[in-house]
Amino acid sequence: MSVRWQSLIAVMLAGLLAGCGGDASKARFAENSALAKQLLPKARKAVQKTLDEHFGAPLDSVAWLKLPVNYGKAEGTVKSVDGLKLSVEFNKEASDVDGLTSPELARAGLLFTSGVSAGKQVLLAKFDPKTNVFEALQTLDSPPAKDDTFVAAGHFLRHGRKLYARHCQHCHGVSGDGDGTTAKYLNPRPRDYRLGVFKFTSTGSFPAPIKATRDDLKRVIALGIPGTYMPSFVPMLKENELTAIIEYVRWLAMRGEIEKGLITELKGEYSRDRSKDEGIDKSLETYLGEAYPNFVNEIAGEVGEKWSGAEEEGTAITPKKPRTQDTAESRHRGKELFLGNKAKCVNCHGPAGRGNGPMTEDFQKNPTTNEVYAERGLFDVWDQPIKPRDLTRGIYRGGRRPIDIYRRIYVGIKGTPMPGNSQALSEDEIWDLVNYALSVPYDSQAPKLPKPHSVAEYSTEHGHAN
């Protein structure tokens, strides 16, 4: 497709995807009111308006093409037109319709890219995937003709939303704020995606945390998080369903981050406590009319870049050396490190790894605000109290493969006080800690090793807690 069409689609999609009416579509995403209430009411409204415009509502989503979300796109050619019915053929190479059995292409929009209707859009009422027949919601002044080309978009997002509503929403909330109807009964709480922080990733955190990759999210959704209420969804969800849900989760996370970014920006000048300041209304009006639209684009660009950055090759933390042989010596070295001053694991996890180290008894400082917490113990970035893992139980939330534990120690656990050690410890030292940590539940001597040539096999296939 030509560049001209690409950019036209980018401009028009927002309008196209804002689907049809109906009462349900009036449901809105919940505001991040804890933050937004700090703004002048007019500034608060401006943020809401921006989000409505670029993301729409749960049942009326808008695909903001600036963001690296795979919204689902389908290109094709009109085969015949019969009133409101359009029979089409998809261009398989440029269409993500494979495996999409549900009629999510309905409620999407079609943009014609050639013929008399070129540049015109039509909203769809129905799509029958068996016959590839669309039914339009309204007639076009100049109906398309055979062989006219079109592009439709947004069906992945819609598919994702539907599945999310069914499987995830009661815990994670309509807007991904982790505050669904079941959430209040759960500890740990379901993830609030809006900070864009995910714990169990393959990616690094030094010098700055890298986002979760699609594969990281897939792993967590497929396998669940052991020891928490987060269930595993394989084989319940099929591959294409997982793909659609992952895009939806990423989209909600980006929405939340952009909301936070906008509020933070506006709070500088237009916080609620300035409501009596002279000329503040005028100043806000000028800002909203001039610099604000650029800022909206800027923040979306920044957030988007972080998410696409995670997908670049080489972001996964992969040790250069394979796992150190799991010997009594290695475990011993690991234990020394665990208890010692270099790795400081003992401060949180305690001498026996039970998760009751001295830091859980002291008052800690909030690393963002530098204020001392009102209660003893550790807190995460979602302001929830959090306990270091009791390593004697052998339950690993981020996966129990040695590489998972390696990554937890190397990167730390994002959003939690569990720190990374990429600078403080060598690969060998981290592997020793992995061997030790995995031995804690068994509290036994390392197994006698078999003949050297089968050692690698032994440690990956029969090792404890593998």
C-beta separation of 70 from 159 below 8 A:
no
C-alpha pair distances (Å), 236 with each of 183, 256, 405: 22, 28, 27
Interface residue with ligand HEC, options 71, 150, 156, 233 (CB under 6 A): 233
Q: Please identify which residue in the block is written with the tokens 């061997």.
A: 435
Comparing CB distances to ligand HEC, the nearer of 145 and 339 is 339
Give backbone dihedrals phi and psi of 202, rounded to 5 degrees, phi first.
Answer: -90, -10
If one asks whether residue 411 binds ligand HEC (CB under 6 A), the answer comes out as no
If one asks whether residue 261 binds ligand HEC (CB under 6 A), the answer comes out as no
Say which residues have a Cβ less than 8 Å from residue 58's Cβ, sequence separation at least 6.
27, 28, 29, 161, 165, 174, 175
If one asks whether residue 250 binds ligand HEC (CB under 6 A), the answer comes out as no
If one asks whether residue 172 binds ligand HEC (CB under 6 A), the answer comes out as yes
Interface residue with ligand HEC, options 228, 271, 315, 392 (CB under 6 A): 228
Query: Where does this chain touch ligand HEC (CB under 6 A) — which range of 1-9, 49-57, 115-123, 197-205?
Result: 197-205
Query: Where does this chain touch ligand HEC (CB under 6 A) — which range of 6-14, 62-70, 164-172, 255-263?
Result: 164-172
Closest CA to 432 of 338, 334, 360, 335: 334
Interface residue with ligand HEC, options 44, 161, 331, 408 (CB under 6 A): 408
- Kindly identify the residues of this chain, within the stretch 295-354, that bind ligand HEC according to CB under 6 A: 338, 343-345, 347-349
If one asks whether residue 78 binds ligand HEC (CB under 6 A), the answer comes out as no
Interface residue with ligand HEC, options 413, 420, 435, 459 (CB under 6 A): 413
- What single string gives the DSSP state of each residue in 74-138? EEEEEEEEETTEEEEEE-GGG---TT--S-TTTTSEEEE-SSTTTT-EEEEEEEETTTTEEEESS
> What is the nearest approach in angstroms of ligand HEC to the Cβ of residue 273?
34
Comparing CB distances to ligand HEC, the nearer of 16 and 171 is 171
Comparing CB distances to ligand HEC, the nearer of 188 and 261 is 188
Cα end-to-end distance, the chain, whole Å: 49
If one asks whether residue 95 binds ligand HEC (CB under 6 A), the answer comes out as no
Three-class secondary structure assignment of 133-183: EEEECCCCCCCCCCCCEEEEECHHHHHHHHHHHHHCHHHHCCCCCCCCCCH
Comparing CB distances to ligand HEC, the nearer of 143 and 415 is 415
Paired tokens of 198: 């995910």
Interface residue with ligand HEC, options 105, 409, 411, 446 (CB under 6 A): 409
If one asks whether residue 200 binds ligand HEC (CB under 6 A), the answer comes out as yes
Comparing CB distances to ligand HEC, the nearer of 18 and 246 is 246
Provide the CB-side half-sphere exposure for 320 (13 A, CA): 3
Paired tokens of 106: 């309905």
Q: Dihedral angle at the C-alpha atoms of 136, 137, 138, 142, nearest 10 degrees?
A: -20
C-alpha pair distances (Å), 423 with each of 333, 344, 419: 18, 14, 11
Query: Where does this chain touch ligand HEC (CB under 6 A) — which range of 64-72, 129-137, 184-192, 305-313?
Result: 184-192
> What is the nearest approach in angstroms of ligand HEC to the Cβ of residue 400?
8
Q: What angle do CA 128, 133, 134 make, to 5 degrees?
A: 90
User: Cα separation of 325 and 333, whole Å?
Assistant: 12
C-beta separation of 148 from 114 below 8 A:
yes
Interface residue with ligand HEC, options 386, 403, 411, 446 (CB under 6 A): 386
Comparing CB distances to ligand HEC, the nearer of 244 and 296 is 244
Comparing CB distances to ligand HEC, the nearer of 85 and 400 is 400
User: Cα separation of 143 and 212, whole Å?
Assistant: 45
If one asks whether residue 186 binds ligand HEC (CB under 6 A), the answer comes out as yes
If one asks whether residue 388 binds ligand HEC (CB under 6 A), the answer comes out as yes
Query: Where does this chain touch ligand HEC (CB under 6 A) — which range of 12-20, 166-174, 272-280, 324-332?
Result: 166-174
Q: 351 has which bridge partners?
A: none
- Residues in contact with ligand HEC, total (CB under 6 A)? 50
Task: List residues binding ligand HEC (CB under 6 A).
Answer: 167-168, 171-172, 182, 186, 188, 190-191, 198-200, 217, 220-221, 225, 228-231, 233, 245, 249, 338, 343-345, 347-349, 359, 378, 386, 388-389, 391, 396-398, 405, 408-409, 413, 416-419, 421, 433, 437
